Amino acid sequence: MNKISTGLDGLDEILYGGFIPKRSYLLRGGPGSGKSSIGYHFLKHALNRDKQVLYITLGEPKEQILENAQHIGMDLSGIHFVDLTPSDDIKKHSTNYNVFSASEIEQPPIFEAITGAIEKYKPERVVLDSVTMLRFLNQDAYNFRHTGLSFIKYIVRRGATLLLISESSEHINDQDSVFWVDGILDVEYSTAWRKLYVSKFRGSDFMHGNHAFKIDDKGVTIFPRLHPNRYENVFKNQVLSSGIDQIDHLLHGGIEKGTTTLITGASGVGKTNLGIQFINEAATRNERSAIYTFEESKELILRRSKMINIPIDEMIQKGNLKIVPVEPLSYSPDEFSAMVKKDIEDHDTQMVMIDTIGAYSMAVRDENTLERLHSLTVYLQNMGITTFLINESSNITGDLSATTMHASYLADNIIFLRYLEIQGKIRKAIGVLKKRLSSFENVIREYEITTDGIKVGKPLKNLRGILTGMPELIK
């Protein structure tokens, strides 16, 4: 289908190519939700191709619109305006209409100005900001519907694509206009992030669900929700070694490429170090990895890895590793997934570690965190990416829990690390709870982090009750 860009790559992806030309679309949302900014991009895209575009404003004056656009890095000076905002003459606008209605007095000159601009410039794209002002002008439902439909038909039949902006709130009802247009985009500004969703798109399918977007000094960026089954990559099946024989014995050779491995354990037990050990081995195969750390700084990971003889700084210098510290409460799930996806596509990343999934849950601030994490891990699996999810359990000893957020079903493999108290000394153990694609050793081995790296001992056959954290010697 022939479509035109909305001016926003993310929105084009959501609409499977963009708007259908010569049709009308309604963009609605509350104050500060980003409606006008999206309209700026819609017009700017055509302006960059030397096309005629028209901005009809009944709310903000032309000068303020140009200034607002400058704040997000956009020059709209080439746009034609029909500025129908009230002047600063208070006496003129305090007139009461006692004999004739406001629509009979005010509407004719408004529509004459609009039709005159349409005939003069023959624009490819038109933005009306906002249709809510026309509603206030005409309180009669029948007349407003008749006028609105005539207005839309007039513009689209002259070859323009029309974007109507509506101020939606619990006090304003725009249910009439939803039936006039060919598509409806809703935007929302919450305490977490801005959201966009499409509720109607006549003549085409679209990507369903909420999609996050942000506005900064570079304009609007939309992050389509990750639909993992739309992505697929052909990759060679292989078993990946950890580089430590005893861990490979536990896993019957290693972990399979393209699988998701959950490494779980209490704070400080060595979960991140174990994940980095697999990444270090990937670097020997000249494969690139990425670590997304929600808790520790890049500098701390570098310092700690040096202490256990893993040359993580060399991996970074050679381009085999990227460490991305993720600021808490700074990302939506869609933006984070887009960041991971872009790194994979741009740099052929083969291994990804998320440290930790509990911190991910807090950082992305979404009510469906597990659903979003599920989508991300399925996407990574479909692309053949080997994934490590680090989970910090709350129990130092006692009952073993794989995760506190019921995320164990996401994992193809589950490796657990445990603290042990043996004869008054704290020791550590490693074992495997789950391996979906092969069998594994059903034993528990001692796990130690030394200055020479990770050391894994023989099976702890002389102990029982290890999973409680307080084992007993078997005599």
State the DSSP string of 273-285. HHHHHHHHHHHHT
Give the gyration radius of the chain's Cα atoms. 30
- Which tokens is 320 given? 């085999």
The interaxial angle of helices 102-121 and 141-156, nearest 10 deg, is 10
Report pLDDT for 102. Answer: 47
> Do both 207 and 244 map to the same domain?
no
> Do both 76 and 202 map to the same domain?
yes
Q: For residue range 13-58, what is the model confidence (pLDDT) as tens digits? A: 999 999 999 999 999 998 889 999 999 999 999 999 999 999 999 8
Residue 4 inside a domain? The answer is no
Report pLDDT for 285. Answer: 95
Report pLDDT for 134. Answer: 72
CB 139 within 8 A of CB 176: no
Residue 3 inside a domain? The answer is no
- Which tokens is 302 given? 């570098």
The strands making up 161-167's β-sheet, listed across from edge to edge, are 80-83, 53-57, 125-129, 161-167, 24-29, 183-189, 194-201, 211-216, 219-223
CB atoms within 10 A of CB 389: 27
CB atoms within 10 A of CB 282: 22
Q: What letter represents residue 122's amino acid? A: K
State the DSSP string of 9-28. HHHHHHTTSSBPSS-EEEEE
CA–CA distance, 323 with 292 (Å, rounded to integer): 6
- Which tokens is 259 given? 């699988």
CA–CA distance, 79 with 349 (Å, rounded to integer): 43
**Tokens 């794989």, residue located:** 402
Report pLDDT for 38. Answer: 98
Portion of the chain with pLDDT greater than 90, in percent? 65
Q: Of all helices (H) and strands (E), which one includes residue 255?
A: strand 255-256
CA–CA distance, 284 with 202 (Å, rounded to integer): 53
SS3 309: coil
Residues whose CB falls within 8 Å of the CB of residue 89, separated by 6 or more in sequence, listed in order: none
Q: What letter represents residue 359's amino acid? A: A
CB 148 within 8 A of CB 140: no
CB 198 within 8 A of CB 207: yes
CA–CA distance, 67 with 320 (Å, rounded to integer): 44
Pick the last residue of a domain from 225, 243, 275. 225
Residue 157 belongs to domain with CATH number: 3.40.50.300
Residues whose CB falls within 8 Å of the CB of residue 50, separated by 6 or more in sequence, listed in order: none
Longest CA–CA span in the chain (Å) reads 105
Residue 169 inside a domain? The answer is yes
CA–CA distance, 243 with 217 (Å, rounded to integer): 46
- Which tokens is 463 given? 């102990």
CB 128 within 8 A of CB 162: yes
Q: For residue range 288-331, what is the model confidence (pLDDT) as tens digits? A: 999 999 988 999 999 999 999 999 999 999 999 999 999 877 88
> Do both 45 and 140 map to the same domain?
yes
> Do both 215 and 247 map to the same domain?
no
Report pLDDT for 105. Answer: 44
Report pLDDT for 169. Answer: 63
Residue 2 inside a domain? The answer is no
> Do both 375 and 468 map to the same domain?
yes
- Which tokens is 337 given? 């997934």
Q: Identify the segments of the chain with pLDDT beneath 70.
A: 87-107, 136-142, 169-176, 367, 394-405, 466-470, 475
> Do both 278 and 336 map to the same domain?
yes
Residues whose CB falls within 8 Å of the CB of residue 95, separated by 6 or more in sequence, listed in order: none
Pick the last residue of a domain from 200, 225, 250. 225
- Which tokens is 325 given? 């510290």
> Do both 330 and 449 map to the same domain?
yes
Residue 251 inside a domain? The answer is yes
Report pLDDT for 405. Answer: 65
CA–CA distance, 419 with 93 (Å, rounded to integer): 77
Report pLDDT for 214. Answer: 94
Q: How many structural domains does the chain have?
A: 2
SS3 356: coil
Pick the last residue of a domain from 157, 192, 225. 225
State the DSSP string of 89-110. -TTGGG---SSS-HHHHHHHHH
Residue 299 inside a domain? The answer is yes
Q: Where are the beta strands (DSSP E) in 101-217?
A: 125-129, 161-167, 183-189, 194-201, 211-216
Report pLDDT for 470. Answer: 67
Residue-number span of the structural domain to which 46 is assigned: 9-225
